[in-house]
Amino acid sequence: MLDPARPPELYADNQWSVDRTSWLQWAVEPLAGRGAQPETLAHIFTERPVYRPEEEVHIKGYLRVRKEGHLSPLSDLAGFVVVEGPGDLAWRYPVTTSPLGTFYHRFQEKDLPPAPSRPLRDAARGPLRPGAFRVEAYRVPRFEVRLHGPRRGRSTRRSRSR
């Protein structure tokens, strides 16, 4: 039988000593703070990684809370999306999440320098998950692929001769 009032001796540093702490106290304390705490999750992304200067950037985000293994949307939450550019450039846009915990913002600014930008922030919670994109003048490469080979491949069946 274990007596919570009389803890066993401790052995440390090559000697035995008496434990003066409340032994087995953890067995009678509340369990609420022991599990995983609720965690806010965000996934922010753009439609594609590279945009031309005249195109608009589509920024989409999902906000969820993971609690006790279940995900639930963060709905009707007001915050900001901050798009950070090269140097000290930054644009701040207010967004509100839908009942499903999503938001959308169309980003289009004039005279953007050709460097990476990131839609990364929520005003209350600080930086969220990174999702970088570039705005630069590019052209789609034009090329042709030609494949040459026999019209008919070798048969894998073996003919049986009798």
pLDDT digits (tens, 9 = 90+) for 124-133: 455 444 567 7
pLDDT in tens, 141-151: 788 888 888 87
What pTM, to 2 d.p., does this model score? 0.58
Higher pLDDT, 47 or 156: 47
CB atoms within 10 A of CB 101: 20
The mean predicted confidence, pLDDT, of the chain is 78
* DSSP 3-state percent helix, strand, coil across the chain (nearest 5): 0, 40, 60
Per-domain residue ranges for the chain?
39-133
Residue 113 is predicted with a pLDDT of 63
Residue 120 has pLDDT above 50, yes or no: no
CATH architecture under which domain 39-133 falls: Sandwich (2.60)
Alpha-carbon gap, residue 12 to 92, rounded angstroms: 57
